[in-house]
C-alpha cells in the first residue's frame, strides 16, 4: 500500500466504529434503492395480472412495505449525511491539529522562506477538501458500487442482451472520465496555489494596513491584489472549462442510455422478448444505474480536490524540522548563565554567504554584554543562535559548559528570555499577555512583574485595568507600553539569560527612560546580551563587543574602547553627531 494512502487511512482509526456504522447505513440505503423498483415490478407483473378482487389489499400491503422501507432509507440516509459529515470534520480537525503542531516545530529558517498566507491556505482550504473526501469517499463509493452491481444483476436477469448493449457504453465513459480527470487535477493544483497567493497578498496588506494608509498606497495594494486575483480567476477558468466538458460529456452518455433502452426495449416488446411491466422496471433501474455513474463523477471531483489537498498537506509534513531534540537529549535545569561560542560559523543557507565565521566568545554568568556594529554584521543572528532559533553551521555553543544541541529545546528556551524591538502581543487582555511568560502565574505575581517593568500604573489607567483588551498586536497601546508589557512577560518568566534586541530603538525619550529603568532591574544578576544602535544605551555594559563583517573586531568597556580610537570610537562619534 502506498505510504500516502496508508497515512490517509490512518486518520479513520479513532473513528472506526462511526465509519462501520456509516458504511452499514450506506449499504442499507443502497439495498432499499434496489428493492423499491422490485416492489413496483411485483405489483405490475403479479398483482395487477393476478387475482384482481384481492389486488387492492395486496397493493396496500406492498405500499405499506414500501413506506416502511422508505422510512428506513430516510433514517439511514440522515445518519450518513449527518454523522458522515461529522466524521469528515473530525478527521479534518485531527489533520489540522497535526499540521499546526508541525508548523510550531519548524525553525525560523522555514518561516523565512514561506509566506504566512500560503501556510494558512494549507491549514484551511486544502483541509476542507480532505474533509469532503474523507466523508464522501467511503460511503458514496460503496453506495455507487452496490447500486451499480445490483442494477446490473437485476437488469441482466430481466433482459441480458439489452443489458450487455448498455454496458458497451461503460468503457467509453471510463476513458472520457479518465482524460478529463487528469486535466482537472493539474488545473486544480494550480488553482489552489493561486488561492494561496491571494491569501498571502491579503495577509501582507492587512498586516501592514497602517503603512498602506500612511503612504496613501491603497491603489498600489489594490493593483497587487487584483493581479493575484486575476491569476486565480484564470486558473479557475481553466478548471471550470474542463469541468464543463466533463459533466456535459457524462450527461450525454447517461441520456444516451435512456434513449437506447427506449428504442431497443420497444423493439423487444414488439418481438415479445420483453413485457411492458419489465420495460417499466427496466427504465426505473436505468435511473438507479445512472445514479452511481453520477456519484462516480462527483467522487472523481472530490478525489481530485482531496488528493491535491492531501498532497499539499504531505508536502509540509514531509519537511523535517531542521532543529529538534537529538536522541537522549537531557533536561536542562535552571542554569547559572555562562555562554561560550567555540569557533561558530553560520550561514542562512548553503547558497548564501557566511554571516558569522569562526566566532569564539566567552560570557560569564551574570555578565552584561552589549553588541554593537553596523546593520547586517550578525548581531541579531549571534543572539538567535543561543536559544537555537537557528542551528550553527559549524562549531558549537555551550551554556554552563553543556552543548546546547545535547539538551532539550524546551528546557534550553525556558532559561532564556528575549525582548525584541518589534514587540508581538496577542489579541486578548493585558493579563493574558503578561501571563504568557508563565501561564500558571497568579494575579499577584503578574502585578508584581508589571510593577517591576514600570507597567502597573498605565495598566491601572486603562478602562478595565488588567482585563483591558489590547487589540491585534496590541494596537490600542503605545510603543513604550507594548515594550513594557513584553518586559513584564520576561520578568514573570524569570530566566537566567536575557537577550535585548534593539529593545528601545523605536521609542521616544520618555518611553525609553521608563523601559531602560525596567531593563536595568531585569538585568540584575542575569547574563544579559544587549543589541543596540543607540550607543548611549550600552555604556553601562560590563563589556562591549564590536562586530564587523570580519567578526568580533574589538571588545572592552566603553572607556577602554574609546581609548582604542578604533571602530567603536568612530561609531560613537558618529552617534554624537546625529
Residues 232 and 345 in one domain: no
Residues 312 and 346 in one domain: no
For position 256, which CATH number holds?
Answer: 1.20.1560.10
pLDDT of residue 21: 92
Please check the confidence at residue 60 and state whether its pLDDT lies above 80. Answer: yes
DSSP string across 358-420: EEEEEE-TT-EEEEE-STTSSHHHHHHHTTTSS--SEEEEEETTEEGGGB-HHHHHHTEEEEE
Reduced to 3 states (helix: H, G, I; strand: E, B; else coil), residue 499 is strand
Inside any domain, residue 327: no
Residues 261 and 367 in one domain: no
pLDDT of residue 385: 93
Among 14-28, 328-342, 351-365, name the one with the lowest average pLDDT. Answer: 351-365
Range of the domain at 495: 339-577
Inside any domain, residue 333: no
Q: Other C-beta atoms within 10 Å of 194: how many?
A: 20
Beta strands in 5-52 (DSSP E): none
Residues 519 and 379 in one domain: yes
Give the model's confidence band at 75: pLDDT under 50 very low, under 70 low, under 90 confident, else very high. Answer: very high
Distance CA 513, CA 362 (A): 30
Give the model's confidence band at 254: pLDDT under 50 very low, under 70 low, under 90 confident, else very high. Answer: confident
Report the share of the chain in percent with pLDDT over 90.
16
Tell me the torsion sign for CA atoms 270, 274, 276, 281: negative
> Which cell is 314 given?
504531505
Question: What is the phi/psi pair of residue 240, to 5°?
Answer: -70, -30
* Predicted TM-score of the model (pTM): 0.75
Per the model's pLDDT, the better-predicted residue between 482 and 296 turns out to be: 482
Looking up cell 502585578 gives 447
Q: Which of 56-60, 201-205, 225-229, 239-243 shows the highest mean pLDDT?
A: 225-229
Inside any domain, residue 126: yes
Could you read off the pLDDT of 283-318 as tens digits, one per residue?
A: 777 777 777 776 777 777 788 778 888 888 888 898
pLDDT of residue 104: 87
Residues 525 and 427 in one domain: yes
Q: Which residues of 458-471 are buried (b: 16+ CB within 10 A; e: fewer)?
A: bbeebeeebebebe
Domain count, the chain: 2
pLDDT of residue 507: 57
For residue 353, give the DSSP letter.
-
Residues 398 and 311 in one domain: no
Pairing relation of β-strands 527-531 and 394-399?
unpaired
Distance CA 541, CA 526 (A): 12
Residues 417 and 311 in one domain: no
Give the model's confidence band at 365: pLDDT under 50 very low, under 70 low, under 90 confident, else very high. Answer: very high
Residues 371 and 222 in one domain: no
pLDDT of residue 206: 73
Please check the confidence at residue 196 and state whether its pLDDT lies above 70. Answer: yes
pLDDT of residue 306: 84
Distance CA 346, CA 362 (A): 17
pLDDT of residue 407: 94
> Which cell is 420 given?
525584541
Beta strands in 96-191 (DSSP E): none
Residues 192 and 289 in one domain: yes
Residues 496 and 453 in one domain: yes
Inside any domain, residue 331: no
Residues 274 and 310 in one domain: yes
- Which distant-in-sequence residues (6+ apart) come within 8 Å of 209 by Cβ? none
Residues 276 and 384 in one domain: no
Inside any domain, residue 325: no
Length of the chain: 578
Q: Other C-beta atoms within 10 Å of 214: how many?
A: 9
Looking up cell 525582548 gives 419
For position 536, which CATH number holds?
Answer: 3.40.50.300
Per the model's pLDDT, the better-predicted residue between 61 and 184 turns out to be: 61
Inside any domain, residue 225: yes
pLDDT of residue 405: 93
Inside any domain, residue 439: yes
Q: What is the mean pLDDT of residues 126-152?
A: 83
Q: What is the mean pLDDT of residues 266-282?
A: 77
Inside any domain, residue 471: yes
Q: Which residues of 514-549 are buried (b: 16+ CB within 10 A; e: fewer)?
A: bbbebbeebbeebbbbbbbbebebbeebebbbbbee
Q: What is the mean pLDDT of residues 114-132?
A: 81
Q: Which of 77-81, 154-158, 247-251 shows the highest mean pLDDT?
A: 77-81
Could you read off the pLDDT of 391-439 as tens digits, one per residue?
A: 999 999 999 999 999 999 999 999 998 888 778 888 889 999 899 888 8
Amino acid at each position: 500500500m502506498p505510504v500516502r494512502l496508508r497515512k490517509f487511512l490512518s486518520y479513520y482509526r479513532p473513528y472506526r466504529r462511526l465509519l462501520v456504522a456509516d458504511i452499514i447505513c450506506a449499504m442499507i440505503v443502497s439495498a432499499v434503492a434496489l428493492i423499491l423498483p422490485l416492489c413496483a415490478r411485483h405489483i405490475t407483473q403479479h398483482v395487477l395480472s393476478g387475482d384482481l378482487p384481492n389486488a387492492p389489499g395486496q397493493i396496500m400491503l406492498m405500499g405499506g412495505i414500501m413506506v416502511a422501507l422508505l422510512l428506513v432509507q430516510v433514517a439511514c440516509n440522515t445518519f450518513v449525511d449527518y454523522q458522515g459529515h461529522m466524521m469528515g470534520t473530525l478527521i479534518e480537525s485531527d489533520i489540522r491539529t497535526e499540521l499546526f503542531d508541525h508548523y510550531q516545530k519548524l525553525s525560523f529558517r522555514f518561516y523565512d522562506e514561506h509566506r504566512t498566507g500560503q501556510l494558512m491556505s494549507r491549514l484551511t482550504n486544502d483541509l476542507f477538501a480532505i474533509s469532503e473526501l474523507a466523508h464522501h469517499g467511503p460511503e458514496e463509493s460503496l453506495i455507487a458500487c452496490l447500486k451499480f452491481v445490483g442494477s446490473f444483476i437485476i437488469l441482466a436477469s430481466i433482459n441480458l442482451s439489452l443489458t450487455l448493449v448498455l454496458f458497451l457504453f461503460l468503457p467509453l465513459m471510463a476513458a472520457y472520465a479518465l482524460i478529463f480527470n487528469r486535466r482537472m487535477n493539474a488545473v486544480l493544483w494550480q488553482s489552489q496555489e493561486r488561492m494561496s497567493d491571494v491569501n498571502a497578498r491579503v495577509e501582507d496588506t492587512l498586516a501592514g494596513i497602517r503603512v498602506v494608509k500612511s503612504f496613501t498606497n491603497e491603489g498600489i495594494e489594490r493593483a497587487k491584489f487584483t493581479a493575484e486575483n486575476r491569476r486565480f480567476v484564470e486558473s479557475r477558468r481553466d478548471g471550470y472549462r474542463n469541468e464543463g466538458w466533463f459533466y456535459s460529456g457524462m450527461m450525454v452518455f447517461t441520456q444516451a442510455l435512456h434513449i437506447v433502452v427506449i428504442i431497443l426495449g420497444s423493439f423487444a416488446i414488439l418481438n415479445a422478448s420483453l413485457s411492458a411491466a419489465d420495460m417499466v422496471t427496466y427504465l426505473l433501474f436505468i435511473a438507479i444505474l445512472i445514479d452511481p455513474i453520477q456519484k462516480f463523477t462527483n467522487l472523481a471531483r472530490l478525489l481530485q480536490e482531496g488528493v491535491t489537498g492531501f498532497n499539499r498537506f504531505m508536502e509540509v509534513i514531509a519537511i523535517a524540522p531542521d532543529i529538534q531534540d537529538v536522541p537522549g537529549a537531557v533536561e536542562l535545569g535552571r542554569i547559572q548563565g555562562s555562554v561560550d561560542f567555540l569557533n561558530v560559523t553560520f550561514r542562512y543557507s548553503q547558497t548564501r554567504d557566511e554571516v558569522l565565521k569562526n566566532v569564539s566568545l566567552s560570557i560569564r554568568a551574570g555578565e552584561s554584554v552589549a553588541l554593537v556594529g553596523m546593520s547586517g554584521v550578525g548581531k541579531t543572528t549571534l543572539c538567535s543562535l543561543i536559544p537555537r532559533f537557528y542551528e550553527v553551521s559549524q562549531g558549537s555553543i555551550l551554556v554552563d559548559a553543556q552543548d546546547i544541541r545535547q539538551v532539550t529545546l524546551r528546557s534550553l528556551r525556558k532559561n532564556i528570555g528575549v525582548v525584541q524591538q518589534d514587540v508581538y502581543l496577542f489579541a486578548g487582555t493585558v493579563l493574558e499577555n503578561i501571563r504568557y511568560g508563565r501561564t500558571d502565574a497568579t494575579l499577584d505575581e503578574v502585578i508584581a512583574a508589571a510593577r517591576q517593568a514600570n507597567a502597573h500604573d498605565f495598566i491601572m489607567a486603562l478602562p478595565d485595568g488588567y482585563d483591558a483588551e489590547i487589540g491585534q498586536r496590541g494596537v490600542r497601546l503605545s510603543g513604550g507600553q507594548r515594550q513594557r508589557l513584553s518586559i513584564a512577560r520576561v520578568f514573570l518568566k524569570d530566566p537566567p539569560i536575557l537577550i535585548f534586541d534593539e529593545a528601545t530603538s523605536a521609542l521616544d525619550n520618555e518611553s525609553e527612560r521608563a523601559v531602560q529603568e525596567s531593563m536595568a532591574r531585569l538585568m540584575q544578576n542575569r547574563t544579559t546580551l544587549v543589541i543596540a544602535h543607540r550607543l548611549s544605551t550600552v555604556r553601562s555594559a560590563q563589556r562591549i563587543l564590536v562586530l564587523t563583517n570580519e567578526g568580533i573586531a574589538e571588545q572592552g568597556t566603553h572607556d577602554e574602547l574609546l581609548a582604542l580610537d578604533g571602530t567603536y570610537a568612530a561609531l560613537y562619534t558618529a552617534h554624537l553627531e546625529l
